[in-house]
């Protein structure tokens, strides 16, 4: 198995396990793409398109949580019974269909989508096709009907999302390295025992062992800010402080089960960030995609960074192209 194939397998597993657990905990869920500017972008893009093409057959590739479909559902002229979504993670597709039952869901690798050529008038992706590799661009083109339109938001090097991903990756790796969850479990287990009258010696010893890990969380927050990793580090830090200060008021089983669930989610989140970091597009890769589209008869209507008001760095690279074979 090649290194690329190995990375693809790891990425597929990471996204599948992520969506399986999404919603099971109050952290590890956003992925860094929750800026309100994305809704404004899609509202404008869809509003303009569906004025001219009401009821267009639409496919969203790498649909994830279904953010693009949610934006689409608010647009006059869009008909969800003519919308399909594809994702490699079955739980992601099931989640979208639970929210939007009229949408047709397809579980598939974006490089090999089992749908007929030319089936869609509009093909979209928000941080999806680039994670699957160049073959996913070919698939998007194959599925596009004559005269159809592509709208991609791509994760690219040097943008705000890329910086957020790098900070998150650093934060999660550091939490993992200091063995935060094992030390916290030992600390809280000894703490609950002490509250019930056991010897405080193990509690004091566990607190001393945990202290370097707490200092590392403080260092992460100082370096990257409270918002790093979708506020996960701040959430762990503040929640542990609250439990510690009022431990006699908490149920031991509930707290330890919460902590175990968080510990299980961390590797999934870390894998996702590693997948995103490997897949980020540099300028050469974006130019390669643009050249591929042009060579296949899809000149770009728009190819530029996406900026949001008040943010100095772009959040994505926008590619919009039309199939000239009308």
Domains of the chain plus CATH, in order, are 31-157+281-322 (3.40.50.150), 161-277 (no CATH)
Beta bridge partners of 87: 107
| Euclidean distance between CA atoms 315 and 156, whole angstroms | 8
| Average pLDDT over every residue of 119-136 | 92
Please say if the pLDDT value at position 40 is more than 60: yes
Work out the pLDDT band at 59, boundaries 50, 70, 90: very high
Give the length of the chain. 326
Q: Which tokens hold the place of 310?
A: 């008040």
Work out the pLDDT band at 30, boundaries 50, 70, 90: very low
Burial classification of residue 52, based on how many CB atoms lie within 10 Å of its CB (0-12 exposed, 13-18 middle, 19 or more buried) = exposed
- 3-state SS of the chain is CCHHHHHHHHHHHHHHHHHHHCCCCCCCCCCCCCCHHHHHHHHHHHHHHHHHCCCCCEEEECCCCCHHHHHHHCCCCCCHHHEEEEECCHHHHHHHHHHCCCCEEEECCCCCCCCCCCCEEEEEEECCHHHHCHHHHHHHHHHEEEEEEEEEEECECCCHHHHHHHHHHHHHHHHHHCCHHHHHHHHHHHHHHHHCCCCCHHHHHHHHHHHHHHHHHHHHHHHHCCCHHHHHHHHHHHHHHHHHHCHHHCCHHHHHHHHHHHHHHHHHHHHHHHHHHHHCECHHHHHHHHHHHHHCCCCEEEEEEECCCCCCCCCEEEEEEECCCC
Find the Cα–Cα–Cα–Cα dihedral 295, 117, 147, 71, rounded to 10°: -110
Q: Tell me, what's the pLDDT at 286?
A: 93
Q: Tell me, what's the pLDDT at 110?
A: 95
Q: Tell me, what's the pLDDT at 33?
A: 57
Other Cβ atoms less than 10 A from the Cβ of 320: the count is: 17
Q: What percent of the chain has pLDDT over 90?
A: 73
| Euclidean distance between CA atoms 318 and 320, whole angstroms | 7
Higher pLDDT, 14 or 315: 315
Q: Tell me, what's the pLDDT at 304?
A: 93
Residues 56/121, Cβ–Cβ less than 8 Å: yes
Work out the pLDDT band at 95, boundaries 50, 70, 90: very high
Q: Which residues make Cβ contacts (< 8 Å) with residue 236, sequence separation at least 6?
A: 27, 175, 180, 217, 262
- Mean pLDDT is highest, among 9-23, 158-172, 246-260, 278-292, for 246-260
Work out the pLDDT band at 27, boundaries 50, 70, 90: very low
**Segment 129-180, tens digit of pLDDT:** 988 887 899 999 999 999 999 999 999 998 888 899 999 999 999 999 999 9
Q: Which tokens hold the place of 317?
A: 């690279």
| Euclidean distance between CA atoms 268 and 274, whole angstroms | 10
Work out the pLDDT band at 284, boundaries 50, 70, 90: very high
Work out the pLDDT band at 35, boundaries 50, 70, 90: confident
Work out the pLDDT band at 29, boundaries 50, 70, 90: very low
Q: Tell me, what's the pLDDT at 252?
A: 97
Q: Tell me, what's the pLDDT at 271?
A: 87
Q: Tell me, what's the pLDDT at 70?
A: 95
Q: Tell me, what's the pLDDT at 10?
A: 52
Residues 54/72, Cβ–Cβ less than 8 Å: no
Q: Tell me, what's the pLDDT at 19?
A: 52
Stated pTM of the model: 0.80
Q: Which residues make Cβ contacts (< 8 Å) with residue 216, sequence separation at least 6?
A: 174, 175, 178, 180
Please say if the pLDDT value at position 25 is more than 80: no
Q: Which tokens hold the place of 299?
A: 């000149």
Please say if the pLDDT value at position 6 is more than 50: no
Work out the pLDDT band at 205, boundaries 50, 70, 90: very high
Q: Tell me, what's the pLDDT at 12?
A: 52
Q: Tell me, what's the pLDDT at 22?
A: 47
Please say if the pLDDT value at position 46 is more than 60: yes
Q: Which tokens hold the place of 275?
A: 């997948």
Q: How far is CA 21 from CA 16, 25, 201, 287, in A?
A: 9, 8, 37, 36
Beta strands 300-306 and 144-154: pairing type?
Answer: unpaired
Q: Tell me, what's the pLDDT at 279?
A: 84
Q: Which tokens hold the place of 137?
A: 């661009």
**Segment 70-88, tens digit of pLDDT:** 999 999 889 999 999 999 9
Q: Which tokens hold the place of 11?
A: 């990425």
């Amino acid at each position: 198995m090649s290194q690329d194939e190995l990375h693809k397998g790891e990425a597929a597993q990471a996204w599948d396990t992520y969506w399986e657990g999404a919603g099971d905990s109050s952290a590890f869920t956003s992925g860094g793409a929750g800026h309100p500017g994305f809704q404004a972008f899609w509202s404008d893009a869809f509003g303009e398109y569906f004025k001219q093409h009401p009821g267009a057959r639409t496919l969203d590739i790498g649909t994830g949580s279904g953010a693009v479909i949610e934006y689409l559902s608010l647009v006059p002229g869009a008909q969800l019974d003519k919308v399909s979504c594809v994702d490699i993670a079955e739980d992601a597709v099931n989640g979208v269909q639970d929210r939007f039952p009229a949408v047709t869901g397809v579980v598939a690798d974006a490089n090999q989508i089992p749908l007929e050529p030319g089936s869609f008038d509009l093909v979209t992706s928000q941080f999806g096709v680039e994670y699957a590799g160049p073959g996913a661009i070919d698939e998007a083109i194959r599925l596009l009907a004559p005269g159809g339109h592509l709208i991609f938001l791509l994760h690219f090097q040097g943008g705000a999302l890329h910086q957020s991903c790098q900070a998150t990756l650093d934060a999660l790796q550091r939490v993992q390295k200091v063995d935060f969850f094992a030390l916290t479990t030992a600390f809280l287990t000894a703490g609950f025992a002490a509250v019930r009258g056991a010897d405080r010696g193990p509690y004091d010893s566990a607190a001393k062992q945990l202290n370097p890990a707490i200092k590392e969380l403080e260092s992460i927050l100082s370096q990257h800010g409270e918002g790093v990793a979708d506020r996960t580090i701040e959430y762990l830090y503040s929640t542990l402080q609250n439990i510690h200060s009022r431990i006699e008021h908490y149920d031991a089983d509930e707290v330890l089960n919460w902590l175990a669930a968080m510990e299980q989610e961390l590797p999934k989140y870390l894998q996702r960030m590693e997948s995103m970091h490997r897949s980020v597009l540099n300028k050469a890769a974006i130019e390669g995609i643009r050249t591929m589209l042009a060579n296949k008869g899809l000149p770009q209507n728009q190819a530029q960074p996406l900026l949001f008001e008040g943010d100095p760095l772009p959040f994505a690279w926008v590619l919009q192209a039309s199939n000239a074979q009308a």
